[in-house]
A and B are shown apart, each in its own frame.
Chain A
């Protein structure tokens, strides 16, 4: 690995520095437009369709998405692309039907837990908000690690201390402009990042295909993964029918209609008609945000398989991809094929994507904790100034936790699968409450409580948790996830029928 020389040059560092400075400038400039929570969290509900699409896709096309998708392409071959396809088709369906997102926008809520209170009770809001924030924070817990690996691989920076220092500086910059500008700066930086990254990644795909050729790519996938590298129904490369269903739920429904950050953009749209338009057009982005990095991961597989110096680092003696190294495959590959200048631009775009994902999520989880847990617990008596201050303080505290978690947690599975499980701890309960609350009059508060608690059992899908319980290797994360979905929906129905809402609302 040491012998692989990155083409990252001084010019590329200059490009990255200029980009980061411009990002800080936007945060400072937009401060003057924030005077209440609607302005801070929802850009004053002023988002028009194209900016809505840019910020939705820009926020979800993060460095971490690129890294875990590329890892899936590397470890799963072309069959991994089914994840992107499923995500796009489901998002399109949501846009055409308005499933979940339109009724939510019609209610005019700012967060999903706010919906919980309006539909069920304040207690459901508090529990739901807490689960949402905990799952969300765990979900982003390894973003810094992914970012550090990207930086190491792309730039050839091998000193671990230097990498950690750069990551710390980046999260400080994110906290800085998130605190200052809220959603307005998030929207603007997402827009710029969308432009740079979308065009940059498409260029990288073109270069990769030109350099390797489709025939060499497919031949390598066949050699390493066999039929499982092409057909997602075959279980060999970590997929199979139950995995596909799990992806329809996770990459599809949850990603676009249940995950708080995507839904916040629906809540920020000008009208319900705009919401549907945003989702229909964003379906392309939702598909491609997985698909292009997955394809780049497959290209990395083809390149590194042939590369004598890299082969033993990325593949074991039996020719199987080594999981611990697989996250590094994409950045190392890019460092070898991208010319100077372009590597800096894509590096800047990816670092900006890293920061934009962090700022969106930091803002989101901090606002959930302040608006949906702390404020309701105080009886709704917090002043506007107090709420803004609380949100900003929480942003700092969450950032500190992320730094510690990223350094300490041992992954033990593909990063995408870790995120699917931690996301499911919130999303399964939320899905049951949204489905029941929006489409079934008889859904009750007791049913909601039971579904939320059941959803948290998705935690059992994490490999370290299974190992701690002596269940290592027993259950795949998708089988745990699908079982817990069934349990949560069942408990929502059973709890609602056995303990219906009383006429006096109790």
Chain B
């Protein structure tokens, strides 16, 4: 495999890699917003449960 082969090979690898990464970046940027909202909803739910449990424990005492 001579130098000309490698020049073409790396050009192809770079082009494909950049295109794939651009696509992934766009998908993750847009879709990730939904995941951020879901993360906060779930954590807020757990925080609410914990607050309620503490309140119940205080009332029992």
- A residues adjacent to B (C-beta < 8 A): 32-33, 35, 39, 43-44, 46-54, 57, 78-79, 81, 84-85, 88, 184, 187-188, 191, 194-195, 198-199, 202, 205, 214, 218, 222, 227, 230-231, 281, 284-285, 287-288, 291-292, 295
Contacts and interface: CB of A to CB of B under 8 A. Distances in A.
Contacts of A187: 39
A50 B27 contact: yes
A39 B40 CA distance: 12
B7 A81 contact: no
A50 B35 contact: yes
26 contacts: A39-B43, A46-B38, A47-B39, A48-B39, A50-B27, A51-B32, A53-B24, A53-B28, A57-B28, A79-B6, A81-B10, A88-B17, A184-B39, A184-B43, A191-B32, A195-B25, A195-B29, A198-B21, A198-B25, A199-B25, A214-B11, A222-B3, A227-B3, A230-B3, A287-B17, A288-B18
Listed residue (B21, B28, B35, B36) with the most chain A CB atoms within 10 angstroms of its CB: B28
Contact of A54 (B1, B21, B22, B28): B28
Interface of A: prevailing SS = helix
A284 B36 contact: no
A186 B50 CA distance: 23
A291 B13 contact: yes
Contacts of A202: 18, 21-22, 25
Given A48-B38, A50-B34, 18 more contacts: A33-B40, A33-B46, A35-B47, A39-B46, A44-B42, A50-B27, A50-B31, A53-B24, A78-B6, A79-B6, A81-B10, A195-B25, A195-B29, A205-B18, A214-B11, A230-B6, A230-B7, A230-B10
Contacts of A84: 17
A297 B40 CA distance: 39
Q: Which DSSP category, helix, strand, loop or mixed, fits chain B's interface?
A: helix
Given A35-B50, A50-B34, A291-B14, A43 B39 contact: yes
A32 B51 CA distance: 11
Contact of A51 (B3, B13, B35, B47): B35
A79 B14 CA distance: 12
Contacts of B14: 81, 291, 295
Nearest to A29: B40
A288 B14 CA distance: 9
Which residue, A33, A43, A52, A214, has most C-beta atoms of chain B within 10 A? Answer: A33
A284 B35 contact: no
B35 A48 contact: yes
A281 B24 contact: yes
B22 to A, nearest CB: 6
A288 B39 contact: no
Contacts of B32: 50-51, 53-54, 191, 195
Contacts of B29: 194-195, 199
B57 interface: no
Nearest to B31: A50
Contacts of B39: 43, 46-48, 51, 184, 187
Contacts of A53: 24, 28, 32
A43 B39 CA distance: 8
Contacts of A281: 24
Contact of B42 (A46, A49, A231): A46
Contacts of B10: 78, 81, 230
Given A84-B17, A227-B3, A285-B21, A32 B27 contact: no
Contacts of B17: 84, 88, 284, 287-288, 291-292
A85 B21 CA distance: 13
Given A85-B13, A191-B36, A214-B11, A292 B21 contact: yes
A46 B11 contact: no
Contacts of A205: 18
B9 to A, nearest CB: 9
A218 B9 CA distance: 12
